[in-house]
Structure 1
Amino acid sequence: MFSASPDDDRRAILHLDVRLHPDDRDLTGPEWAEVAHRLARAAGIEIPGKGHGCRWIAVQAQPRRLDLIAKLIHLDGAWHAPPADVLRRLAAEARRIEQDLQLIPVPAAASARADSRLAQTASAQLASVLAQLADEQAGALTVVRKLVEHVAYLIASPPGSDTAHRLELIARRLHTIQQDLDATADHLVQPRASTFPCTVQRPVHRTL
């Protein structure tokens, strides 16, 4: 899950919740440190060789559990954008960690439920971005389209201006794109039939 700003527009905090299976062995301090750094790299908040990335910490407030928390706003005020496939990367790294540290693998059904949950979260994020772009009142494409329409109107004299005609065609295409994006956003958030409940039993949970 994600923790967003009061306007629900940007995600400033990344929280990864990692828990061991009840039958897993206890990990040593260095092993927990390895888990934290590997997941931080998979999430894109730690980049080898880059000294000014995101600020993050990993803590163990409870036994057999690790909480990794990162701030996605750099010291200069710039926002950090996680990789587009961050959910898939985290899930894949969790599977590799299980194998490398000889932990109990997630059962196939639980893994499928986790993948389903991750896919739903990614779809909801993309739907939000597409809806913002396509918004007819203040979306970025609306602003561009209205500017194009305004310029086309200003240079439409004399009648038949080739440039004005091209701008009108561009405006129409932008409007079509907006409609397509809006329809796609609606499709992404439609409930999907699934044979698995939308709960994740163990692996790496991303809480933002």
Structure 2
Amino acid sequence: MIPHIHRNSDFAVEALAAALGRPIAEQDVLGDLIVARSALEDDLADDDRCAWMLADWWEHLDEPTVMFPWGTGGPGGLQEPIFHVAVRLHPNDRQLTPPEWSQIAHRLADATGVAPTDDAQACRWVALQAQPGRLDLIANLIRLDGRWAHHHNLHQSLAAECRRIESDLGLVPARPTLHRTYTARPPARHTELPNPSATQSPASVAAQLANLMCQLADEKTGPIASVRGLVEQAAHRLDDLPHSYGPAAGHRLELIARRLHGIQQDLEATAADLPGAKQRAPVASPPATAPHTSHRRTL
């Protein structure tokens, strides 16, 4: 499980758009995409909450900013109150159930200081499971008592909790680092293309070619996966750069990563159709498309 902390923002709509990974509309009903949330302060029934539109959720998350407009700000002079952290599962992880996603969300909310256990004045937050193998936790760091949530060891605490979740739920362990870090892997040993020979049957040649394509498409050792990982890392880093150029370039890199993933799938499918193909290369779930940059909502 790999966590990624996004840049804080002024309004929740930006984080919600990033979590959904698609163009959004105020009338969108999130429904079952919401796997966990902070307790609502009013008497709104769960059935009514399930019918909330996207605009209802971002207004709910933005409300503390309106309630306490003259706050002193967060740690280090932080002024943007919307906190957003996303965690991704390993490509080889099993599919989690909704209760498991909810458990992860509550544990992350506690570990990040957003909603410590038994704290009635904690932050408002919501967790979405809108993209395959990914959970997004979005919170307003202005607590219900007007103070800002502080966590002096956020990165270390978040990484440690992710390791505990992996152990408790039997997930594939990730590298012990907060940010997803890729290094170029040595290319797989080159397999020579079979030369036409009277001693080789067509099926034998096809099997060798299928093996070569499986090596190219392999998610763990293949060169395409290595390149795709570096492209995804660059996209994450660009997303944290100034708005004038970072997100747009990051979005283009995410699209490139999707095309590389498509090449892996095509190679795998072609290899599977050839005679003698015994194994199929494990290809990861497709990378999420970078969200379109949304305009900030004025209050």
Q: Normalising by structure 1, report the TM-score.
A: 0.49
Higher relative contact order (CA 8 A, sep 6+): 1
Q: Normalising by structure 2, report the TM-score.
A: 0.35
More helix by share: 1
